C-alpha cells in the first residue's frame, strides 16, 4: 500500500507570540478545544507556553496537520507565527497525547556555560537539524515530567 501525500505522517513545529496576556483560564480553554478537535482529526502533540510565547509540536496525517496550521495562523491570539520544522516522520513522538501542555518557566539567572535552552533554540532555529534536535530534547523533557 502506498501512502499518498495527504496520508503521510508529519511533524510540524511552530513558534508564535501571544497578542495578549494568556492566563490559566485562556490556556485551559485552548487545551479543551484542541484536545477535542485533535482527537477527531488524528493529531497529537504538545503545547509549550512561556512569557507570551507558544511552541507547539503537531503530529499526524499531513492534510489534518496542514488544516490545523491554517486555523492557528488565522487565530487572532497569535502573532509572528513561524514554522520552524515541517518533516515526514515514521512514528509520533507525542502519540499518547491529543495535546499535552507544559508551562515553561523562564530561567531566573544566567544559564551555566554550555547549557542549551531548547525553548529558545526553537525560536532562533536556523536549520531544520537544529529545530529537530530541540524538538527531540523538548520531547524528552515533557515525557520525564509526565512520568513524575
Angle (CA) 106 60 29, round 5°: 50
CA dihedral 9, 67, 129, 47 (to 10 degrees): -100
The mean-pLDDT minimum among 75-79, 116-120, 128-132, 142-146 falls in 116-120
pLDDT by residue (tens digit) across 27-75? Answer: 788 888 888 888 889 999 888 888 888 888 899 999 999 999 999 899 8
Q: How far apart are CA 38 and CA 68, in angstroms?
A: 9
pLDDT of residue 68: 92
Angle at 72 between CA 69 and CA 78, to 5 degrees: 135
- Quick check: pTM over 0.85? no
Greater model confidence, 104 or 18: 18
Share of the chain above pLDDT 70, in %: 70
Task: Grade residue 111 by pLDDT with cuts at 50, 70 and 90.
Answer: very low
Q: What is the DSSP string of 22-46?
A: --HHHHHHHHHHHHHHHHHHT-EEE
CA atoms of 39 and 144, how far apart (whole Å): 23
- The pLDDT assigned to 140 comes to 67
Cα–Cα dist 30/36, whole Å: 10
Q: Which residue has the higher pLDDT, 59 or 132?
A: 59
91: Cβ contacts below 8 Å, ≥ 6 apart: 9
Amino acid at each position: 500500500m502506498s501512502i499518498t501525500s495527504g496520508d503521510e505522517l508529519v511533524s510540524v513545529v511552530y513558534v508564535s507570540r501571544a497578542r495578549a496576556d494568556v492566563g490559566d483560564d485562556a490556556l485551559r480553554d485552548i487545551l479543551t478545544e484542541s484536545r477535542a478537535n485533535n482527537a477527531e482529526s488524528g493529531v497529537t502533540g504538545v503545547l509549550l507556553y512561556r512569557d507570551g510565547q507558544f511552541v507547539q509540536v503537531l503530529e499526524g496525517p499531513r492534510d489534518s496537520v496542514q488544516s490545523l496550521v491554517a486555523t492557528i495562523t488565522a487565530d487572532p491570539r497569535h502573532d509572528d507565527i513561524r514554522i520552524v520544522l515541517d518533516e515526514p516522520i515514521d512514528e509520533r513522538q507525542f502519540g499518547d497525547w491529543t495535546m499535552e501542555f507544559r508551562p515553561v518557566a523562564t530561567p531566573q539567572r544566567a544559564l551555566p556555560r554550555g547549557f542549551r535552552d531548547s525553548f529558545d533554540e526553537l525560536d532562533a532555529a536556523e536549520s531544520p537539524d537544529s529545530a529537530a534536535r530541540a524538538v527531540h530534547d523538548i520531547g524528552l523533557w515533557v515525557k520525564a515530567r509526565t512520568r513524575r
